[in-house]
Amino acid sequence: MGLALRNEIRPLQAPTPTQTLSPRLQRAVQLLQMSSLDFAALVRQKLGDNPFLESEDDSDPATATPETPDGDDGTAPQVKASNEAWDSGPIGGTDDRELWINDGGSPLRPTGDGDATAMDLTASATTLAMHLHGQLNVMALTPRDLTLARAVVESLDDDGYLRTPLEEIAGLVPCAPPAAPAEMLVALRLVQSLEPVGVAARGVGECLLLQVRQMEDGPCRALAERIVGEHLQALAARDVPGLAATLREPLRRVEAVVDRIRHLDPRPGWRVGDSRVDYIVPDVIVRRQRGQWSVQLNPAVVPRVRLNQVYAELYQRHRSRSSGALGEQLQDARWTLRNVEQRFSTILDVAQAIVRRQRHFLEFGPMAMKPLVLREIAEEVGVHESTVSRVTNNKHMATPLGVFELKYFFSRPMVSAAGNACSGTAIRGLIGDIIQAENPARPLSDADITRQLTAQGLVVARRTVTKYRQLLRIEPVDKRRRHG
């Protein structure tokens, strides 16, 4: 009875505390995960919305004094002395042109007569239709033929293909008498004669055939026309031996012609159009100086903002109960400056820790990459693993070997037969080297590569080899085989 009573009556347990983040801290976590370009855009927005923030490039030194987020030493809210990147040069200016390029559409300030604005400096994009219409305009065509050809051009998709039937296009052209099928076919052939070659095709086969007919080598062109026109499925399956047997041609000759066909462009419309390229802007830059690797923040991604001391002092002198909104803006401005400092200081600390552990990669390449997990960097920097994960997300490092996302330097350790640990990146590099050195006539299967790795003391599953080969964008064995 006593035992049963003791089982029934248990001491009340205190509720388990749960860790909750304040809205401001949640916002700081989100900002830390942003790319530097997105973060810079957000800071620019705050510069426009918050009167207590100003750009250091636009401020008047005689009327404004920089203040740190803590307001204790009168220096600008930059990453402090451990970060020597501030000595590497000024941050890019904030003139109209840079604002337009960086923001993609910032409001333009009025300019004087003869001054170029950002709009004047922005080149207009040429579309595929504009490119084709320009060629039609210089050709000696009757108004009717020009109208029909333009109707075909306007029906092309972004790939340059004509997906709409000619009969349907003819019904949409306002001309009298209505366009006959023969006239529409002439208009189609006219557009197909324009650049880029292969445009206005009604399928992949016709697109390739239009390009094959431009080959200068007559025998090669004739064989390519047969392959594309009569054996497109075998070409897509890369069945070179089957093609050679069907065509009764030497295997080597068929393989050479197939290689020529593979270099044709199945999407000719992509050659013309918006040529804008989204470039990666590195957050940190790694250089070798006096035999040591140094890490610096890229000044181009660090916003140079500070507190407008004049406005802050005026508010402190004249604040009242009715000025609560201004007080919130002042508090938000100081929080923004603290976030700028903390964000880039953390990015720099994490990047420096990565470089210290992966210096052999910088000196010898991917084969020298060491296994690295988030916990190691977190312990060295003194932050939580989740913070390192957010810092490495959408952040890039420029090195002499190229620009890499910070996550690239992390991989789980894989233990060799001798007990040594190696990274997945190093194994991927080794797989790439093995395939590059293989005999084209007898390429290695994933199982063969697995056996070679095992012979070198690296126990890797075949499915892992397949995954790494796919990450390297290397085709499987049957598509790498070259017949001789």
For residue range 277-306, list pLDDT tens digits in order: 557 889 999 999 888 999 999 998 888 888
Structure confidence at residue 453 (pLDDT): 86
Closest CA to 441 of 395, 482, 399: 482
CATH of domain 413-480: 1.10.10.60
* pLDDT one-digit tens code per residue, 426-465: 888 888 888 988 888 888 999 999 888 888 877 788 888 8
**Of the ranges 124-133, 244-253, 389-398, which one carries the lowest mean pLDDT score?**
124-133
Per-residue pLDDT, averaged over 90-114, amounts to 37
Mean pLDDT of the chain: 78
Residue 192: closest CA among 216, 208, 171, 173: 208
Neighbour order of strands in the sheet with 292-297: 292-297, 284-289, 396-399, 402-405
The pLDDT confidence band at residue 420, using thresholds 50, 70 and 90, is low
Is a pLDDT exceeding 50 seen at residue 46?
yes
Matching fold, domains 128-202 and 413-480 = yes
> pLDDT for 84-98, tens place per residue?
333 333 333 333 333
In this predicted structure, what is the pLDDT of residue 118?
A: 43
H or E stretch including 251?
helix 251-262
146-178 residue pLDDT tens: 999 999 999 998 889 998 899 989 888 888 898
Separation between Cα atoms, residue 330 and residue 22, nearest integer Å? 19
Break the chain into its structural domains and give their ranges.
24-86+280-410, 128-202, 203-272, 413-480
Other Cβ atoms less than 10 A from the Cβ of 271: the count is 16
CA angle 420–421–422, rounded 5-degree value = 120
Render pLDDT for 50-65 as a digit per residue (tens, 0 to 9).
888 888 765 444 444 4
Among 421, 418, 430, 420, smallest CA distance to 373 is for 421
Higher pLDDT, 103 or 410: 410
Say what the pTM is: 0.51
170-183 pLDDT, tens digit per residue, is 888 888 898 999 99
- The pLDDT assigned to 484 comes to 46
Of residues 79 and 470, the one with the higher pLDDT is 470
- φ and ψ at 119, to 5 degrees? -65, -35
Q: What is the per-residue pLDDT for 47?
A: 86
249 pLDDT above the threshold of 70: yes
Of 200 and 479, which is predicted with more confidence? Answer: 200
Return the CATH architecture of domain 128-202: Orthogonal Bundle (1.10)
Q: Using the predicted structure, report yes or no on whether residue 114 has a pLDDT greater than 50.
A: no
Long-range contacts (CB closer than 8 Å, 24 or more residues apart) made by 272-276: 272/126, 272/127, 272/128, 272/131, 272/196, 273/125, 273/126, 273/127, 273/128, 273/158, 274/125, 274/127, 275/125, 276/125
Residue 242: phi and psi, rounded to 5, are -65, -40
73 vs 42 pLDDT, higher one: 42
**377, 353 contact by CB (below 8 A):** yes
Under DSSP, is residue 220 helix (H, G, I), strand (E, B) or coil? helix
Cβ distance 468 to 446 under 8 Å?
no
Average pLDDT over residues 122-138: 81
pLDDT tops 90 at residue 379 = yes
